[in-house]
Structure 1
């Protein structure tokens, strides 16, 4: 019954957006929308007049949030964080970017982050509220085995991301609630590839490490702290995966009046009703350009994006600017060419497309196009 209903919705959603013709190299953007319970898709065209063209809207579950794509760009997975917690699976049409729903499997909890490894054989997920990690095998056809190969406690509190390094040998899990980053070893050839034991790197109390990105050369890691709004720069030991902090830089402008945030109480609780975060730092996302020259972060209270120049030799960053963007920018991303940035707002029904100046790192708004409600996660796919 569920599969039939969703299949019908997908057919209706895709009607009128089909693009005929053979497959060609294209860049697609997928954005998950919490309130609309769907995924909006666009084709990003470059050239003289860059533009986001709607490909369609594809049903998902209520509170659909993080997404991940297989390395071959043929399958997309989305974590639905409302009960029953589940992973929605889609095939990506290489010719037109449309999503074909292929089923849903249960997840052990409300998973706040999902990632696929570089072999395309494994999907990892972590839960903010349940404080646990899970590992599922991806079959050759892209379908994810519903029985986890592994499921175990995260070893910290409130993990918020689960990210592979470039060698596929290490996995980093920032623990927002315990101000640390767990470092797991990973071996894709084993039946249980993710080590349950992990080393840990401590941050300062109440920084709240949220998301992490690894440089393309695998030498550096960059973390955005949710509650203090800092970019923490680490050098990486490529052999052991160990992190050594080398810099901490504020992502806020010097005249910012925001104060450090603190952990938010559960939604719907009496504490949440009285919780005033109107003047608290509330950072969210962090991304690098593919060439590693520029880094960007988002802050939700003032709805801004900040940019940094990166010294690719030392890994250190230099603050460049802060600019307004869509309201409550939980999610944004940089396209695979490094020429464009797409930003959404959880309290906005628009999507912003920016150009990235290849010399200065400055971003310039190109256009705003209609989006969904509760937009929060931006994923790029480049077909070949």
Structure 2
């Protein structure tokens, strides 16, 4: 088996493909493929070697590419225009559905996917202000929509036909003004973790068998000693030196949660306790400029971090005790802001 890392370079409208050498460890860039304008998110169907990449422009769209496992190249197959550009994409029900969040459009949509991988017209659409993330759980039976502008996580039942029905209750609250952004679930799906953009915290939710999320607590995941101030919708985080939380992923078999913050360009490591709660960061390092997105490699001991204001990605080691250290940097392209590791 080979592990690849795909990185979206939004300013170049390309996706770089890296091959992972697990023994060294290191990355080798093996291909750079042209994709749609301003691509900042994509989803990978490993079973069918398909990549669904969001594109901005007029109109925005979702392009489908065939991934060549050996060369790493992407071959364009089809395009579907959409109402609003997508900030997050995820697959569900064995790749027969594609779900997207549109920040600018204030909505989340479900699309059917045919046998050739072509994205069809939406089967369902729900409105949420500044929807920033979608996450699928329960074998595809539940869908979470993270609304940055609404300070909630909306909860839905997702049918194999692509229908959405609100759970009871229909939303899980986030702290007022926190700006919830991205959501990940632990392996057992007993807990959900949400990174906030404006407060730079990781919110911890308990999840029951029905899919309902209940807020349990929150832990800061940014450099608290560098003068950062709480942000708000519409503020300029660079000019105001404001908190600018971005992405989060679990590492080391779920024993640590990593989180990125863009104003100070840091990556933090928080311990995950046996009950799913989080401890204070055990490590926080400087990384590539404006780390909007990152991914954790299959072994859970390394992360690949992208920077919106950098042309390199950073390979970061996660030690047994959660300590982070940068191993190397590799050229990728301009405006890198999304990464996914896939085993093919």
Query: Aligned equivalents of 2:118 and 2:149: distance in 1?
Result: 33
Query: Aligned equivalents of 1:167 and 1:63: distance in 2?
Result: 31
Aligned partners of 1:128 and 1:158 also within 8 Å? yes
Instruction: Indicate yes or no: 2:187 matched with 1:178.
Output: no
Instruction: Indicate yes or no: 2:159 matched with 1:187.
Output: yes
2:288 corresponds, among 326, 330, 348, to 326
Equivalent residue number for residue 195 of structure 2: 224
Shift of the alpha carbon at 1:254? 4.1
Q: Return 5+ residue gaps in structure 1 as ranges.
A: 1-24, 266-271
Query: Aligned equivalents of 1:92 and 1:276: distance in 2?
Result: 37
Superposed, 1:1-384 pairs within 5 Å as 25-47=1-23, 49-72=24-47, 74-145=49-120, 147-150=121-124, 152-154=125-127, 156-188=128-160, 190=161, 192-195=162-165, 199-238=170-209, 240-264=210-234, 277-289=239-251, 291-311=253-273, 313-318=274-279, 319-357=281-319, 359-383=320-344
TM-score when scaled to structure 2? 0.95
Aligned partners of 1:170 and 1:186 also within 8 Å? yes
Aligned partners of 1:73 and 1:381 also within 8 Å? no
- In proportion to residue count, which structure has more strand? 2
Aligned partners of 1:71 and 1:119 also within 8 Å? no
Q: How many residues align?
A: 342
Shift of the alpha carbon at 1:264? 2.0
Query: Aligned equivalents of 1:226 and 1:277: distance in 2?
Result: 16
Shift of the alpha carbon at 1:74? 1.2
Shift of the alpha carbon at 1:196? 6.1
Query: C-alpha root-mean-square deviation of aligned residues, in Å?
Result: 1.7
Q: Deviations over 1:219-275 (max 9, x none)?
A: 00000110000111011012x11111122111124423100011126xxxxxx7xx8
Shift of the alpha carbon at 1:278? 3.7
Q: Deviations over 1:117-142 (max 9, x none)?
A: 14111001121121112211122232
Aligned partners of 2:42 and 2:89 also within 8 Å? yes
Equivalent residue number for residue 18 of structure 1: none
Which is higher, the Rg of structure 1 or of structure 2?
1
Query: Aligned equivalents of 1:277 and 1:195: distance in 2?
Result: 41
SS in 1 for 2:119: coil
Aligned partners of 1:352 and 1:368 also within 8 Å? yes
